[in-house]
Amino acid sequence: ESGKKWVLTVTAQTPTNIAVIKYWGKRDEDLILPINDSISVTLDPDHLCTTTSVAVSPAFTHDRMWLNGKEVSLSGGRYQNCLRELRSRASDVEDEEKGIKITKKDWEKLHVHVVSYNNFPTAAGLASSAAGLACLVFSLAKLMNVKEDHSKLSAIARQGSGSACRSLYGGFVKWIMGKEENGSDSIAVQLADEKHWDDLVIIIAVVSSRQKETSSTSGMRDTVETSMLIKHRAKEVVPKRIIQMEEAIKNRDFPAFARLTCADSNQFHAVCLDTLPPIFYMNDTSHRQEPFFNSSFINVIVPHFYLPIISCVEKWNRHEETPQVAYTFDAGPNAVLISHNRKAAALLLQRLLFYFPPQSDTDLNSYVIGDKTI
């Protein structure tokens, strides 16, 4: 019985990532295989990240998970696929101090507990599933002594949530769609590390922390089934943009980076509109939400926020000799703005404060987001 008392734990932290060339559409729903490559920037872990602790003990009778303090079911196919893939690759673990010895075979019957916490709104279009699933897979892989490199782990995280595979690396990351039917070559690779372009500043305006209305999974399924535009995007547009974006990142070419980022965000929302029924992620947010608890986030609730942001940035960029800021919007109502240095970021914040002033004292603290990221 005393042998039942031990618990072995691992804790990991994983930031979320923001796609600059977007993933939208699957060719295989179960394995989560995309219809195009995508490229993202991984944020730095101070701001938008998931912290996950995983534990194993012979006293645990089921696999269980708590997300932000509430128990959630692990019975879904995606979690099960990740757990199965990891268990099948587990190795022996020995902790002499605690007198613990787990053999490869033991992992088949041992159960795990997972406690996960996001420091940002879950499912409000801030890619919480990306950070969450990447962190789950990474921490379990450590706990189970899975001896695979990051790219193999990315293929496991991908089966939890597509965009999660990109959060296994920092800096700039490409998710290669791959060709194989079994998904073995649909993996993430790092294009450049977090030091490569460290004067970029990413600012996220959390317009709303409410949960989005159309989940990415069902939204992209509808798009693939009904949109003509998505076929053109996946086959003709994205492959060219991927090459151009890789080049822009390699050369730290902000004008090209900004042009591609804005164009790809706009095309992603165009294919959403081209879906039946149409999906509006850039909808109006006129309700005031509770200020978000993390003081490092901008919390602006303004009606008609997106179009003014887009036109404000577009006008500003045209006014300057070279673009100063790029915008990108994901499957939720929050704005992600990328400026090419701290000076441009300070000016951007000034403008945001001017056009979208905080509406109460509490907002004053919660206005500014994130410092630099990659």
Residues found near ligand 2P0 in the complex (CB under 6 A): 19, 22-24, 32, 38, 127, 129, 161-163, 216-217, 330-331
Tokens coding 292: 């978000």
| CA 334 – CA 40 distance, rounded (Å) | 16
* Cβ contact 367:195 at 8 Å: no
- Which residue type sits at 95? D
Residue 259 or 269: the one with the smaller Cβ distance to ligand 2P0 is: 269
Count Cβ atoms below 10 Å from residue 60 Cβ, excluding itself: 15
Tokens standing for residue 302: 């303004």
Residues facing residue 67 across a β-bridge = 70, 116
Work out how close the CB of 125 gets to ligand 2P0 at its nearest, in angstroms, rounded to a whole number: 7
Closer residue to ligand 2P0 in complex, CB, 93/310: 310
CB of 268 to ligand 2P0, least distance (A): 6
Q: 23 and 38 in contact (C-beta within 8 Å)?
A: yes
Q: In the complex, what is the shortest distance from the CB of residue 208 to ligand 2P0, in angstroms, rounded to a whole number?
A: 16
How many residues in total does the chain contain? 374
- Least spacing, CB of residue 354 vs ligand 2P0, in Å: 29
| CB-closest chain residue to ligand 2P0 | 162
Answer whether 97's CB lies under 8 Å from 145's CB.
Answer: no
Nearer to ligand 2P0, 162 or 183 (CB): 162
Nearer to ligand 2P0, 216 or 366 (CB): 216
Q: Which of 263, 353 has the CB closer to ligand 2P0? A: 263
Q: Exposed, middle or buried, 164 (CB in 10 Å: 0-12/13-18/19+)?
A: buried
Q: Which is nearer to ligand 2P0, 38 or 190 (CB)?
A: 38
* 262 to 60, 89, 207, 310, 311: CA distances (angstroms): 48, 41, 19, 9, 11
Instruction: Kindly list the distances between the CA atom of residue 66 and the CA atoms of 85, 109, 120, in Å, as whole numbers in the listed order.
Output: 21, 21, 16
Spatial CB neighbours of 219, under 8 Å, sequence gap ≥ 6: 272, 275, 279, 331
| Least Å from the CB of residue 292 to ligand 2P0 | 20
Rank residues 21 and 344 by Cβ distance to ligand 2P0 and give the closer one: 21
Q: At what angle do helices 77-89 and 128-143 cross, to 10 degrees?
A: 30
Residue 108 CB, nearest approach to ligand 2P0 (Å): 27
Least distance to ligand 2P0, CB of residue 293, Å: 23
Query: Closest distance between ligand 2P0 and the C-beta of residue 296, in Å?
Result: 22
DSSP 341: S
Tell me whether residue 107 or residue 327 sits nearer to ligand 2P0 (CB atom).
Answer: 327
